[in-house]
Structure 1
């Protein structure tokens, strides 16, 4: 299309009755163009009336939703053809209206395009230097918006480009402004600071004032806000410089003291699950720090695990799984809390008979995390896991797991089979299965009414049994035949026909 055609249709947007027709024409045309001239794209993206069309709140004589959808599609084509380059000095003026637009769908389109370009630059090994702060400020303003999806995109973008300008006075002032907003905006700012701080000690130093503001929230009376901040802070401890910062600020000591003095402020009891989750997630990456350094936190956790309280058990179970998820965590728990671990696993065994299906499923998932290992376990770890398993199962058998497999709850059945598969990675797990009456027969059965995921897990377990030395050659042949038939094999019904005998 000639430039005059585009100019005429852009001009038509000034007349509300003509808008839908003009939008439709341009959208159809741009969809057929592989590359419009830059001046046409620029003209479209700086036309105020086009952005009015994309705003559901603007009164219009055209069908609202239809006009909005077509305008969004047209702007999406424009952004795709723009060839976004964050070093382009014209970019803020081209994207500014979209980034400040009241329609979150449009802001998401623009943000997603910027993020895509930045990730391309990252993959190429060089992120272009921004020509100024204007684009940054527009993206930082997204953190003030009520929509979550767009703010997540903004945080991802800022985590890449903000490093370039963290020491800039204007950027610092903008971040301070965000800390003066409501708690949702503040928490997004804390999340951004944690992402940046993880990158390097230098970046952490630049956002230290934000991290200190986050820590000050832990003295807030709002338990939900405190829990949210604890969740946000967890990744900070994944890097040694982040852990050192938290230790300098005595974060772990302050939080654990609150648990010890729970009687002085009963409301803090509401925060204990979040505190446990906080310590547990950090223990997954820094087990020595938590398991050895804060024994009273572990004592509190083991007390929760014995409580039979379904409101706190899920978080407690997840926390134990985090503590025991690494080889080092398993060793430290065995060395310092062996009796408590065995008692907890024994309690888990009793829970499989009396708690709700959802809690049982959570229990099985947490056990799966504990028994899963990325590398072959050492002889010592293998022995520890065997002892823990037998405390859970009540001996060297798998009746507890098989009872859960035979429940009418599909999700629970799948979780039990997944745990059985994980346990069968160990020789003692296969022995436990072999010692369980009816277990092998169930795995070999070809029940037609089973869910396809159940059938597949059964087949995967049978694949493990077929290469195990624990079974006789005859059994191994049967297992191999099952495996070769595949997970979804259907046995043919055998009908024996008999001739009716006539009267003699």
Structure 2
């Protein structure tokens, strides 16, 4: 009996570009589907892929799709590094094929190489492929340009392999492609900024070779769209310490602080406010002293939390909560006194907003504000968070009411807040004093969704395990109920007893 490899060899030997091509390809597809992946791994290096690839030389899209399906199946069993070396010419031809379906197949392979440290080293030696990728960043087809950009951005993060991106041929091609239009130029900027974020040396090279310097001018250009794109990239650069130092040294932060004042005063420039808030929020997240250093940003953030425009209000609230994620951010925000207290009360008032997406964002922001790692012993932080929590009117009752809402995401977020607060003695006291709270937690029938039911069970489990005997928060009866609930498990269903009555004669 012939082996699958023999059958494949026989089919490929008879493969031609005539009318029988589709029939042969279909037979090959069926044969490949019948072979296990382990078997195919043994056969794949011996398959004549060149003959299959030749079937792409057609205008018949059905044939192209079928050929791509077969190639994907075979290439998926070959280590990407081996495929790059063995089929480099075919990859290059695929990137220049007229059909996007073929380009997408090759990009899928290249993306796997760019994401793999070892394969990435080999990819960095394939200059023609990389030059073609740079050219395709300038494609009018957004999906193709996006895939090309993604491959190069992944490569940009890969240590020494990424240095190929600053080789003279690649840099020159980037300069040529970026002249096409603003959109393409910013795709190239995105790749370069990703490279700059990896190390100080990378940033220094790009700065010395004038590859990113024009960004500082573009944040103040008269074109709002260009400014927004520049802000997005500069915000990415602000995520690394050497990037922040560069922005400070170039005077970009000071310039943007001035832009923020203008944007809040000029209705035409108000479109910049979200981008500027995101930028300064990122700065303050990594470097909380920004709150004191740039009071115009801090005041704008708090003012927008009370803005009548709900979209601006939510941006300001999300910015506030992003700053509050870390310990230093919480401490810096706490220095804002009454402004922060008013902001927290405003966030709490949105828990009952008419629109669920607003309520959900407010809940998630409050969760960030009040989150303390379960392992922390930082008493100062615990005192601050407790005070913030008490700024809400009847907070446990408020959260409990949200847990009864029909919108699943709201229930999940409210339960998440409870779960992160269980380790705090003060929070447990509030929970124990709320009428009906424990009964609601123990009622499995009150929660129709699997994820929320599991989270509710985890709240009970954590409560039962983290009780401080010295605090005597919960009665012995409540403790017994929680332990029984945990012992029965998340999915326990109590049997309903039924009494049958005999019918009369």
* TM-score exceeds 0.5: yes
Structure 1 residue 52 corresponds to structure 2 residue 57: yes
Conservation of the 8 A alpha-carbon contact between 2:314 and 2:358? yes
Equivalent position of 1:138 in the other structure = 132
Of 151-160 and 429-438, more deviation after overlay is shown by 151-160
Equivalent position of 1:428 in the other structure = 426
For structure 2, the residue ranges without an aligned partner over 5 or more in a row are 1-5
Equivalent position of 1:304 in the other structure = 304
Equivalent position of 1:482 in the other structure = 485
Kindly tell me: are residues 260 and 93 of structure 1, through their superposed partners in 2, closer, same or farther at Cα, counting changes over 3 Å?
same
Distance 2:74 2:462 in 1: 55
Kindly tell me: are residues 220 and 30 of structure 1, through their superposed partners in 2, closer, same or farther at Cα, counting changes over 3 Å?
farther
Q: CA deviation at 1:453?
A: 2.2
Distance 1:86 1:228 in 2: 38
Distance 2:111 2:478 in 1: 56
Conservation of the 8 A alpha-carbon contact between 1:108 and 1:150? no
Distance 2:318 2:83 in 1: 45
**Partner SS for 1:101:** coil
Conservation of the 8 A alpha-carbon contact between 2:277 and 2:301? yes
Distance 1:83 1:407 in 2: 50
Kindly tell me: are residues 87 and 501 of structure 1, through their superposed partners in 2, closer, same or farther at Cα, counting changes over 3 Å?
closer
Distance 1:198 1:299 in 2: 29
Equivalent position of 2:3 in the other structure = none
**After TM superposition, where is structure 1 displaced by more than 6 Å over at least 4 residues in a row?**
86-90, 498-502
Equivalent position of 1:230 in the other structure = 231
RMSD: 3.0
Conservation of the 8 A alpha-carbon contact between 1:79 and 1:110? no
Distance 2:493 2:121 in 1: 56
Conservation of the 8 A alpha-carbon contact between 1:84 and 1:91? no
Equivalences for 1:301-450 in 2 at 5 Å? 301-335=301-335, 337-374=336-373, 375-391=375-391, 393-394=392-393, 397-447=395-445, 450=448
Of 23-32 and 142-151, more deviation after overlay is shown by 23-32
Q: What's the TM-score, normalizing by structure 1?
A: 0.85
For structure 1, the residue ranges without an aligned partner over 5 or more in a row are none
Equivalent position of 1:471 in the other structure = 474
Conservation of the 8 A alpha-carbon contact between 1:398 and 1:435? no
Kindly tell me: are residues 220 and 103 of structure 1, through their superposed partners in 2, closer, same or farther at Cα, counting changes over 3 Å?
farther
Q: What's the TM-score, normalizing by structure 2?
A: 0.85
Distance 1:492 1:224 in 2: 63
Conservation of the 8 A alpha-carbon contact between 2:197 and 2:240? yes
**Partner SS for 2:310:** coil
Q: CA deviation at 1:344?
A: 0.8
Equivalent position of 1:110 in the other structure = 106
Conservation of the 8 A alpha-carbon contact between 1:3 and 1:40? no
Conservation of the 8 A alpha-carbon contact between 1:334 and 1:341? yes
**Partner SS for 1:211:** coil
Distance 1:500 1:43 in 2: 82
How many residues are treated as equivalent by the alignment? 481
Q: CA deviation at 1:466?
A: 1.6
